[in-house]
Structures are given as C-alpha cells and as structure tokens.
Structure 1
Amino acid sequence: MTITATAAAAAVVGGGSPVINNLHHRIRIGIESLTPRLSRTNGTSSSELFSSQLRPLLNHRKNKLNFISRAADSASTQPAAAPNKSSLVTDEEFSLAKVSFGVIGLYGGVSLLGYGFGAYFNILPGSEWSAIMLTYGFPLAIIGMALKYAELKPVPCVTYADAQTIREKCATPILKQVRNDVIRYRYGDEQHLEEALKRIFQYGLGGGIARRSAPTLQMIREEVTENGRYCLVLVFEAKDLQLSDFEKRQAKFASFFGPDISAEVVEGEGNLYEVRLISDTTL
C-alpha cells in the first residue's frame, strides 16, 4: 500500500505525531486485512512478514514525514531577513527645478493658440475670449520653444539609503549644491559643471585639453565609503581622454570642490571615468 498525497499533506500541515500515528495505524490495518489471503512461506506468518519486511519501510516513511514537518515549522518561524541598508532609494521630492519650463511654455502656448483659433472661427465655444487667447498664446509658445532649445536636462542620480541618511550631516555645502545643480533643468549652459570643468581641464591653455575633448557628466551617485564617509561620485564620459588625464588633475578636483573633501579617480567601463568626492566630515 502507498501513502496518498492527501495523507502526506495533512501530516506536513499538522506537524504533530497524532496525524503520523494515525497514518501508521491505517496502513497497518490495511495490511493485516490481507492476512487471510496470505499463505505461510517457509513457516513465516503474515504478521511476521509485516514485522520483518514492512515495518522498516513504514518507519522510514514516518521519519521522513517527521523531518518534513519539522522543516515546515522551522520555515514558518524563521525571522525575515534584515533590510539592506545600502538599498537604492527613489527621489520622490517635488521641486519646480525638476520641471521643464520649456515644455510647459510650449504646450501651454500651443494649446491657447489652437483653442483661440477654434473659438475665433466659432468651431469651439468662447469666441469672446479668442482674442485674449491668441494674444497670449503666441508669445508663450515662442518663449517655450526658446527655453526648450536652450534646455539642459538633469542627469540621473543614484542614491543609496545609507548615503541619504548621512547626507545632511556629512555632505559639505558645496557637495549639496553640486548635487542640486545637476539634477535639475538648466538653461543656456552647454553642459553640467561647465565652469568647474573649464578651470580644472584648462580648455585651450598650455597643459590643458581642447574644448571638443571635454568630458561630459553622465550621472552622479551617492554612496558611503568603507570607513563611513559620504561620497558623491561624478561619472564622466570622455572618449578622447585617458585615465592619466584625470589622475594628474585629481588635486584640482579636490581644491575646486573643497574645502574638507578629498578626491579619487577611478576608471570605469568603456569611456567612463569616476571622480569620487569624499567628505572629511564624519558623524
């Protein structure tokens, strides 16, 4: 006789010996009901056959069910894993600096112009307001297009939970300003940190680099170093530069974004280079 799936499941869920003993009892009754049909073999009765051959198998099944029951109980009482303090956090803070005024002006102006023309030709209601909508819609659309043309989009910012926790106390005012400047829309600038890169790499000067070879900021990352210091990582793409071009300007990075910080340069994958600005302030 085989153990049914229903009985095995009941043994695991119950997790107690009464269920297993009941299963044991039912199997033994089923076997003993076959006793009249069994003939003696070499002087051995059916009861002896059950004891000598089937009892080890039954004990094995019983031990197996006990093991599964203990495993289920252990899994149900095991505490949840502690959250990773270095998990990524999303930036849900709302700020007007993160909104594109070019998009607002362009779509707002075009909407006023469209509705104004529709109202003027009596296609849409509100003909008495059509002149005002046309008057303000046209310049608003022009301003929106100009802002959209001069717009510099924010760079992605990756923040770890432990870095966010110590940012207010450990990050220097300059590091906070750098972070806030690059994660918002800017207008009229050719690239993020343009003034800083101009002074550090000395475009067109002796010992400097050509402006066309200037590195471009791709993203920033906030993390905590192994010794517990706040670190703002600037990730640049520079196809025409080498790691040595960044390493010999490492001190300039520290002095420009200082005081109270140290700078490290690390080469990333492809044409990416990381400048790590580490705050000297600790908790």
Structure 2
Amino acid sequence: MNKLPSPASLISITGGILAIIGLISYFNDAANLSVPTFFYGVPILLIGLALKNSEIPPAKSSIQKSDLNKLNLKGPKELSNLIGDVTRFRYGQRAHLETSLQALKLWDENKPPQLREIELIEKNQKFGIRMTFLFCGVPIEKWEEKKDRLGRFFASNLKASITAPNPEEIILELLPITNTTDND
C-alpha cells in the first residue's frame, strides 16, 4: 500500500501552486487571475508550512485491515482507539501519546519518549498490543516502576510487559490477562 501524503503537505502544495499561478499571472498582466490566486495562495502555503513544522508522522504499523476488523468486533474499544490515534498524523504535539505518558509520569520535557511502531498481538483469541518506543530521557527503571499501572491504563484486563532490546529502545507489550496466574 502506498503512503498517502500528509494533510500539511497537501495544503503546502496547494498554496504553493496557487501562489505560483498568481505570480505568473501577474507578470503576464492577467490581474483578474493574479490577485486572488496570489493573495489566497501565500497564506495557504504559510499555513501548510506551519502545520508541516508541527507534524508528527504516524507510528509504523504492521496491522492488517482484517486484524483491525477482528479487533473492532472482539477486542477492547480502547485498543482500537489507541491504534487509530497513533497511526494518523498529529499536529501541535511533541510525541504520540503525549498526555497519556504525562499522566503516567513517563514524560521528560527535554527528551520525550517517541513511539516508533505499534503491532497487534492475539493471545488465546484476545487482543493486546506491542509498542516500540525510543525512551530518550525517561530511564527504563521508571518504566518498570509503572508496569502495573501501564497494564490498566490503556484498557482493562491487560498486563504490561517491558523489554529493552537495546539502550535506546523499549518494547511495551500490553497482553490480555487469560487466567489468574497472568496477574502476578
């Protein structure tokens, strides 16, 4: 599947095209066309560039549409909302899940954790997720302290599992609780 351009890119391109048409029309003495296209094109271009400056691209996702449909039918609604939230362009934030990480006290103002990838996990016909973060300024010990709360924060009946495959990356798995031994 081809990646679609971001809304900010589309707005910037549209504004740029209108501004160029306006300039060309101005130099060709077509005042009826130059005035509206230039004076609408430049602000649209500037708005698009401002949005592009504050844009966060979607987190990488390997979730198939069929799996997402299964999740919508059988899984927690919160996980569907979470996946939908992090797999779209965001504007005016410094990182995906910014308010959630701040509420969990897993936020560093100077170097906030960056969500890089999200995957859907199915265990015993129940759904969970795997999120890969660059944890930047928040030490892994702090993530470990919040493990119990992380399991309950995003959806009920989930258990958090944290691994660090390398010094910059952390993998947070929110797996469904299948029996009483999973609660330990």
C-alpha offsets along residues 216-261 of structure 1, whole Å, 9 cap, x if unaligned?
Answer: 2111111223x33212111111245554332221111122212232
The equivalent of 1:223 in structure 2 is 121
Cα deviation, residue 279, structure 1:
3.8
Which structure has greater strand proportion?
2
Partner of 2:182: none
User: Is 1:245 the equivalent of 2:142?
Assistant: yes
Deviation at 1:127, TM superposition (A): 5.1
Check if 1:104 corresponds to 2:1: no
Any unmatched runs of 5+ in structure 1? 1-89, 204-209
Deviations along 1:99-158, one digit per CA (max 9) or x if unpaired, are: 5221111111111111111112118xx653221111211111111111111111111001
Q: CA separation of 1:167/1:116 partners in 2, compared to 1, >3 Å: closer, same or farther?
A: same
Q: CA RMSD in A?
A: 2.7
Tell me which of the two structures has the higher relative contact order, counting C-alpha pairs closer than 8 angstroms and 6 or more residues apart: 2
Structure 2 unaligned runs (5+)? 179-184
Q: Sort the Cα spacing of 1:99 and 1:180 in 2 relative to 1 into closer, same or farther, 3 A.
A: farther
- Does residue 272 in structure 1 map to residue 169 in structure 2? yes
**TM-score after normalising by structure 2:** 0.82
- Residue of structure 2 aligned with 1:128, choices 23, 29, 32: 32
Question: What are the equivalent positions in structure 2 for 1:1-283 lying under 5 Å apart?
Answer: 99-122=5-28, 128-159=32-63, 163-164=67-68, 166-201=70-105, 203=107, 210-225=108-123, 227-279=124-176
Aligned length: 178
Change (3 A) 1:162 1:278: farther
User: 2:20 is matched by which residue type in structure 1?
Assistant: G
Contact (CA 8 Å) 1:263, 1:277: kept in 2 or not? yes
Aligned residues with identical type, % of pairs: 22
Looking at structure 1, the residues matched to 58 and 163 of structure 2 have their Cα atoms a distance apart, in angstroms, of: 23
TM-score scaled to structure 1, two decimals?
0.56
Note the C-alpha offset of 1:164.
Answer: 4.2
Matching residue's letter, 1:245: K
Instruction: Give the number of the structure whose alpha-carbon radius of gyration is greater.
Output: 1
